[in-house]
Structure 1
Amino acid sequence: MTFKEKLKIKIDRTKMHQRQSKRDFLKKDNMDRASVEFHRNSRVGLYEKLVPFITALGGDGKQCVLYKLCETARISRQGTFLQELLRVVFTLPKGEEFEEENHKNYDKAHVASDDCASLYPGCDVDIPVQSQG
């Protein structure tokens, strides 16, 4: 197969994701606790950096991060590349409870059962985690 022919191959994203979900090493049950905690702490570090950035854009940074964590927990369908990237950023793996109360809010937001917009109304900055429509 030539390089040009390879470029014409259409990738079925749904099948690709289905195959990836069947890989054992990607399942949380196969991740050791230290790895999960590393990911959780890394995400919290990122969220703490996003708060002032979003605030500089004119929104309530803390409310926006909590809102996006809440919104992302509800997404079940596959999105665009940017939406998938943001879904990864705003997906907080389940693990040990955080010690800091401020960090516990991230876990609470990621499992919130009420309407995200009513729980975190201070986010006026559009971060496209979910498609509109």
Structure 2
Amino acid sequence: MQEELNQFERSEVWELVPRPSNQSVIGTKWVFRNKMDENGIIVRNKARLVAQGYNQEERIDYEETFAPVARLEAIRMLLAFACFKDFILYQMDVKNVFLNGFINEEVYVEQPPGKLIQNWHINSPKDLA
């Protein structure tokens, strides 16, 4: 959990501000999962802080949503074209990639559970998706 919070601070994902009276505040929660090796033995416990955006209402709290994820058809086309042209493909994973995106709206979220300063909330200029 601390590693996730440290990454948020390094990326300047949020700033602590007093609770706004005219804005809705999105909740947060920790999601836990175990990373296992090929034998099913737990090698690492992972924690992810997520925003509970399901409480928001369309056209009131937001206008549109999207996720920058490739469609399966696009990946298949890329693989077929690479085979046809004898290309060599590489893949990579960018850790915490969503923390690098900026959003245009003012978004306020609850402080992470366990890090509380009464009546203060987080103003986030970056995407917490």
State the TM-score, normalized to the length of structure 1.
0.23
When you count strand as a share of all residues, which structure comes out higher?
2
Higher relative contact order (CA 8 A, sep 6+): 2
State the TM-score, normalized to the length of structure 2.
0.23
When you count helix as a share of all residues, which structure comes out higher?
1
